[in-house]
């Protein structure tokens, strides 16, 4: 195992909501480092037993995941040294394996960091499962106006259409609200609009949440903090630039009125529950029923996945 004890922080939220910017800001604090996204940590946390040492079969699967996950391969660490360490595993638990990944990352980015974390979109859906492994973990969730997030997803993520992007936002926003209610002292909801409007105030609030003093280098050095980026990151060019409010209302120019109406219809009451005011007239009749069925199906799909992960964790 590597280095001194550490506290855990998991960063999550919907796509195109400012997760990478917050990761860079937080990880520019002298006492925080947050590793880039990867499927490795989520697979260990959610697909392997929690209450007993991992079997040889579990460890074999883990090593296979390490070899195949392209995002993990793009971490700026000494992968040969880490693989050599993993090859020596015998009786280790889920928590110890994830801690090793995080501690190894800390050793190569910021050895004295108190908080070590990971950024991944799935944690806002399954944050309660993370808390089963790390009861004291802190969870920071990014929330952005759905119309802005969906508009940006349509521009940058060809795998999504308006419906899939809206349903993803719906489910993640719903889960963020639920997790905030379940773990009020361990969940911080960072609104994208507040972050870009007053970065220092938001950064100070996140530090207070983590029990740390605010550090000016959080905003002075985040643009040059390449140590925590994927080596192949080409999709967050705006994080190399000064923080701007220009993208808050871009959706009003980029989305057609019928697209706004469709997004708001798919989201139902969730947009307003999450603090954003609808602009279009509410959907009616069969269209309203169709949107309700979409939301119910999305929730059911999540619930089945959640139960499957809970069963695998033991």
* Distance set, CA 134 to CA 121, 163, 173 (Å): 18, 34, 22
Range with the largest mean pLDDT of 82-96, 162-176, 230-244? 162-176
- Asked if residues 269 and 288 have their Cβ atoms less than 8 Å apart, the reply is no
Average pLDDT of the residues in 249-264: 96
For residue 1, pLDDT beyond 50: no
Q: Residue 278: inside a domain, yes or no?
A: yes
Over residues 177-234, the pLDDT tens digits come to 999 999 999 999 999 999 999 999 999 999 999 999 999 999 998 988 877 777 666 5
Cβ burial, residue 135 (10 Å; 0-12/13-18/19+): exposed
% of the chain surpassing 90 pLDDT: 82
HSE on the CB side for 50, CA within 13 Å?
Answer: 18
**Per-residue model confidence as pLDDT tens digits over 292-314:** 999 999 999 999 999 999 999 98
**Whether residue 2 has pLDDT greater than 70:** no
Q: What is the pLDDT of residues 87-108, one digit of tens each?
A: 999 889 999 999 999 999 999 8
Predicted confidence (pLDDT) at residue 138 exceeds the cutoff of 90? yes
Range of the domain at 33: 7-313
Percent pLDDT > 70 in the chain is 96
CATH of the domain at 168: 3.40.50.300
33-54: pLDDT as tens digits: 999 989 999 999 999 999 899 9
Res 160 pLDDT > 90: yes
pLDDT at 124 over 60: yes
Query: Looking at the domain assignment, is residue 2 inside a domain?
Result: no
Question: Six-digit token pair at 246?
Answer: 């220009």
Instruction: Give CA–CA dist 250/271, Å, rounded.
Output: 18
pLDDT of residue 223: 86
Does residue 108 belong to any structural domain of this protein?
Answer: yes
Which residues 6+ apart lie within 8 Å of 25 measured at CB?
A: 199, 203, 206, 218, 219, 222
Q: Please tell me the predicted confidence (pLDDT) of residue 24.
A: 93
Residue 128 in any domain: the answer is yes
pTM listed for this prediction: 0.93
Two tokens, residue 10: 């998991």
Please write the tens of the pLDDT for every residue from 19-30: 999 999 999 999
Under 8 Å between Cβ of 215 and 14: no
In a domain, residue 1? The reply is no
Q: How many domains does the chain have?
A: 1
């Amino acid at each position: 195992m590597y280095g001194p004890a550490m506290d855990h922080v998991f960063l999550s939220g919907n796509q195109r909501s400012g997760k990478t910017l917050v990761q860079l800001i937080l990880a520019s604090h002298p006492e925080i480092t947050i590793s880039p996204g990867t499927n490795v940590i989520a697979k260990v946390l959610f697909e392997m037993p929690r209450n007993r040492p991992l079997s040889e079969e579990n460890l074999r699967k883990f090593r296979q995941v390490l070899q195949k996950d392209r995002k993990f391969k793009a971490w700026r660490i000494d992968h040969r040294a880490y693989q050599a360490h993993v090859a020596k595993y015998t009786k280790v638990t889920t928590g110890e394996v994830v801690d090793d990944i995080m501690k190894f990352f800390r050793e190569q980015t910021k050895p004295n960091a108190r908080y070590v974390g990971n950024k991944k979109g799935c944690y806002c859906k399954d944050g309660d499962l993370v808390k089963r492994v790390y009861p004291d973990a802190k969870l920071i969730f990014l929330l952005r106006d759905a119309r802005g997030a969906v508009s940006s997803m349509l521009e940058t993520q060809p795998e999504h259409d308006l419906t899939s992007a809206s349903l993803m936002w719906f489910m993640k926003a719903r889960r963020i609200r639920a997790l905030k209610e379940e773990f009020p002292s361990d969940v911080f909801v960072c609104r994208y609009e507040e972050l870009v409007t007053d970065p220092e105030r938001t950064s100070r609030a996140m530090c207070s949440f983590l029990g740390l003093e605010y550090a000016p280098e959080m905003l002075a050095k985040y643009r040059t903090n390449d140590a925590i980026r994927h080596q192949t990151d080409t999709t967050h060019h705006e994080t190399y630039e000064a923080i701007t409010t220009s993208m808050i209302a871009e959706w009003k120019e980029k989305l057609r009125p019928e697209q706004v109406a469709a997004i708001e219809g798919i989201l139902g009451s969730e947009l307003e529950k999450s603090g954003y005011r609808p602009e279009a007239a509410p959907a009616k009749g069969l269209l309203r029923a169709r949107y309700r069925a979409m939301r119910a199906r999305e929730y059911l799909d999540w619930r089945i996945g959640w139960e499957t992960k809970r069963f695998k964790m033991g």
